[in-house]
Structure 1
């Protein structure tokens, strides 16, 4: 993959298995806290990965002991001095980078290996699936520093994931949600055994890779788009178009032939 040739200061990219790229936030000495440099690089990496024909899944994680500690407060001192338009540009830069991760056409699995605070929580929410280590913990730290939890998609995504009442509790108190509770309320899909987080994430990605690339990608499109649609009829219309499109691909006939011949299908995503 050509996108793996690019070097970054705050990230690393590695193809762990064919079609599966691990994107690692790489500022372990700062708990992988976000900077403007990271926002720019994260957007660039996501856009590049999205252009890779052979990409099938992305695993997003953090180096060291943390997933992401949120915005680096060492860079926050000057925010209050920015003009209104400058601050809007700053906010849009950050939001654009996270949206680019959510918009990658293949599944994104967040392997949350430690604290995910503030913007780190928001980043984890961009993933389609979240797996946690026993050390994973989450908080909407915004109110702790005089900001709103309506930041970087958190108010929209978290509410749809765990419900409005639980979201209100988490966001108004700024309290920590530890791994066991995160699994119970659906913030993470599961908590891995100690030391097995990446193994579990790559195993899950492998299960996705085994399926039709087009089927998985259009499933993601339908799931995301229908979160924004308030009509059952509109959702059905979107689903109908996706199914009609996929019956024109080579993967569906291959799947049927493989079933009849009692063999594994060989999908091409064409």
Structure 2
């Protein structure tokens, strides 16, 4: 497992261009490392992430000297693409949410596969409070899929902050734990993931998210069928059968 900590506690881990670039490098690195089976994402200090650093988050790489509209679009794409990379990562990502998780930080947690919250956690899509759309950084894609369109509409149109108990009640988080224990709880989930075969875990994550967007049951079944045939060719199924007969835990491949 890998623990990734957003480390700007004096700014509630607000997002900057440097942070985005570094996180993109982390996604690429964990995807290449066969020893990494799951990633836990959390924030240093008293918060997960307060969103974009409004005091000056920087600019997108390569945006120097281009027209303002182009630079603005490059910056927007720079912000949003990180969350696509987390969502498309080969490894499951677990958000261990401590304290405020709003705006771009909320979108980052939504991009993770699993969210676990401390009782102090608060959430909110708050871009609207800044005079721009709450449809930003993947929020309008992820949130309706996680909590349903009607509830997502209320949260996005009011831009209100809601607490960890409500996040638990609406199914946004899988567990609600005492402050100071959220990483320990995330490690329990990560360990359960680690016990499963790596390639099949990757295919489970990828196929699940693809079938959520499937236009029909037939489309979803076709994707599932192809995935199962690929997984069956790794030899893990044979190992699982041998382990069952020999009454021992399976020994999975590392790649």
* TM-score of the aligned structures, taking structure 2 as reference length: 0.94
Task: Give unpaired runs (5+ residues) of structure 1.
Answer: 1-19
Once the two structures are TM-superposed, the CA of residue 160 in structure 1 deviates from its matched residue by 0.7
Which position in structure 1 is the counterpart of 2:240?
255
Task: Give unpaired runs (5+ residues) of structure 2.
Answer: 60-66
Q: Name which of 212, 217, 242 aligns with 2:197.
A: 212
Once the two structures are TM-superposed, the CA of residue 252 in structure 1 deviates from its matched residue by 1.2
Which position in structure 1 is the counterpart of 2:78?
93
Once the two structures are TM-superposed, the CA of residue 194 in structure 1 deviates from its matched residue by 3.2
Once the two structures are TM-superposed, the CA of residue 193 in structure 1 deviates from its matched residue by 2.6
Q: For the residues of structure 1 that align with 2:9 and 2:57, how far apart are their CA atoms?
A: 19
Q: For the residues of structure 2 that align with 1:231 and 1:77, how far apart are their CA atoms?
A: 42
Which position in structure 2 is the counterpart of 1:163?
148
Moved more, 37-46 or 122-131: 37-46
Runs of 4+ off more than 4 Å: none
Once the two structures are TM-superposed, the CA of residue 269 in structure 1 deviates from its matched residue by 4.4
Quick check: 1:31–1:68 contact (8 Å CA) kept in 2?
Answer: yes
Once the two structures are TM-superposed, the CA of residue 77 in structure 1 deviates from its matched residue by 10
Aligned to 2:224, what secondary structure does the other structure show? helix
Which position in structure 2 is the counterpart of 1:3?
none
Which position in structure 2 is the counterpart of 1:115?
100
Q: For the residues of structure 2 that align with 1:193 and 1:34, how far apart are their CA atoms?
A: 26
* Higher RCO (C-alpha under 8 Å, 6+ residues apart): 2
Paired residue total: 249
* TM-score of the aligned structures, taking structure 1 as reference length: 0.89
| Aligned-residue CA RMSD (Å) | 1.6
CA deviation vs aligned residue, 1:113-142 (integer Å, no higher than 9, x gap): 111110000000010000000011101111
Q: For the residues of structure 2 that align with 1:50 and 1:243, how far apart are their CA atoms?
A: 21
CA deviation vs aligned residue, 1:50-85 (integer Å, no higher than 9, x gap): 11121100001111101000000101699xxx7211
Quick check: 2:30–2:91 contact (8 Å CA) kept in 1?
Answer: no
CA deviation vs aligned residue, 1:142-169 (integer Å, no higher than 9, x gap): 1111011110100010011111111111
1:31 is the counterpart of 2:16: no
Aligned to 2:39, what secondary structure does the other structure show? strand
1:201 is the counterpart of 2:182: no
